Structure 1
Amino acid sequence: MLKLFKNITEEITDLEKTEMVPILVDTLMRSSHTNILKGKHLCGLLQASRYTVSEARIRKMINYIRVLNLMSPNVLIGTSQGYFITNDPHVIDDQIESLQGRIDSTEAVIDSIKAQRLNLTHSKAAIV
């Protein structure tokens, strides 16, 4: 769980694992690059099935589905347009490259914040 985002990054619940994830997997199995499903659509689908769920929780369940490879033999792709499954190596490589770019960007921010914190510490020491 992320400390500054507790209500949306809590670990996946048993209800999500046993009831909601199977609905998402079944729905996503019918997706494709020409039938992309938005997080908002998936959220509405679960809400119509009596579940209270946010788009942040959909993303958490999508991550769970991906990590456990529940779409096998296909790969679940996430884009700015939504989610779909594929077995196209080029699309999968593009997804890997996109995710790596996000990691690199996040690491750059972490390095910058660490430097800013160090500067803050040195500034306070100079003031005292």
Structure 2
Amino acid sequence: MSRQDKAVDYKHSGFNCAQAVLMAFSDILDEDELTLKKLGAGFGCGMGAFDATCGSLCAAQMILGLKCYSGRPMLADAKLLHADFKRMCGSADCGELKGLKGGPMLCACDDCIKNAVRLTEERMI
């Protein structure tokens, strides 16, 4: 099963989008599963409960920090990840993605999760 499919399975098993992405990478992260669940717990419905950044994107940023941080700033990497996610999904804002801010739904949660996982995998190769 692909990591993208694992993440979607986690989402459909009661995890929020951020937790689902984090858990899909649990095999390569140095944190235990409970810690990953706790880390992503506040990002359900996006940061700020539909009012800001998509939780799956937040989790992707966390994973890159956990795996790739080497003491140097990662702002350029974070900006690229954000831009790529926005290009793939239509926005990085959870409320906009779900169509809760006056526009149409741009990207379903399952697709946001898959895109976040795919972008994270690409950066870790």
TM-score relative to the length of structure 2: 0.28
Structure 1 or 2: more helix by fraction = 1
Higher gyration radius (CA): 1
Structure 1 or 2: more strand by fraction = 1
Bigger RCO (CA 8 Å, 6+ sep):
2
